[in-house]
Amino acid sequence: MPSPLPSPDTPLFAGYRRIPGVADELFDAEGRMRPVWRRFVDRFARLSADEIGARFERGNHYLRDAGVFYRQYSADPLAERDWPLAPVPVILHEDEWQTICDGLAQRADLLERVVADLYGPGRLVAEGHLPAALVAASPHWLRPLVGVVPRGGYFLHYLAFEIGRSPDGSWLVLGDRMQAPSGAGFALENRMATGRIFPERFPRAHIHRLAGFFQDFRTALADLSQDGGAAILTPGPSNDTYYEHTYIARYLGLPLLEGEDLLVENGAAKIRTIEGPHPLGVLWRRIDAQFADPLELDADSRIGTPGLVEA
Tell me the pLDDT band of 181, cut-offs 50, 70 and 90: very high
Q: What is the pLDDT of residue 79?
A: 62
Q: What is the pLDDT of residue 3?
A: 44
Q: What is the pLDDT of residue 8?
A: 40
Look at residue 74 and tell me whether its pLDDT is greater than 60.
Answer: no
Average pLDDT over residues 207-220: 90
Look at residue 238 and tell me whether its pLDDT is greater than 60.
Answer: yes
Cα Rg, the chain, nearest whole Å? 23
Domain of 245, in residue numbers: 224-311
Residue 153 Ramachandran class (φ > 0 left, ψ -120 to 50 alpha, else beta): left
Question: What tens digit of pLDDT does each residue of 110-167 get?
Answer: 999 999 999 999 999 999 999 999 999 999 999 999 999 898 899 999 999 999 999 9
Q: Is residue 292 part of a domain?
A: yes
The four Cα atoms 83, 234, 278, 296 give a dihedral, to 10 degrees, of 170
Contact 38, 2 (CB under 8 A): yes
Q: Is residue 82 part of a domain?
A: no
Q: Is residue 152 part of a domain?
A: no
Q: Is residue 299 part of a domain?
A: yes
How many domains does the chain divide into? 1
Question: What tens digit of pLDDT does each residue of 2-60 get?
Answer: 444 444 445 677 778 888 889 999 988 888 889 999 888 888 888 888 999 999 999 98
Tell me the pLDDT band of 96, cut-offs 50, 70 and 90: very high
Question: What tens digit of pLDDT does each residue of 263-303 get?
Answer: 999 989 999 999 999 999 999 999 999 999 999 999 999 99
Question: What tens digit of pLDDT does each residue of 79-92 get?
Answer: 666 778 889 989 99
252-263 b/e with 16+ CB inside 10 Å = b?
A: bebbbbebebbb
Q: Is residue 213 part of a domain?
A: no
Q: Is residue 303 part of a domain?
A: yes
Specify the CATH number for the domain of residue 271.
Answer: 3.40.50.11290
Q: Is residue 111 part of a domain?
A: no
161 forms beta bridges with 176
Burial class (CB in 10 A: 0-12, 13-18, 19+), 221: buried
Q: Is residue 285 part of a domain?
A: yes
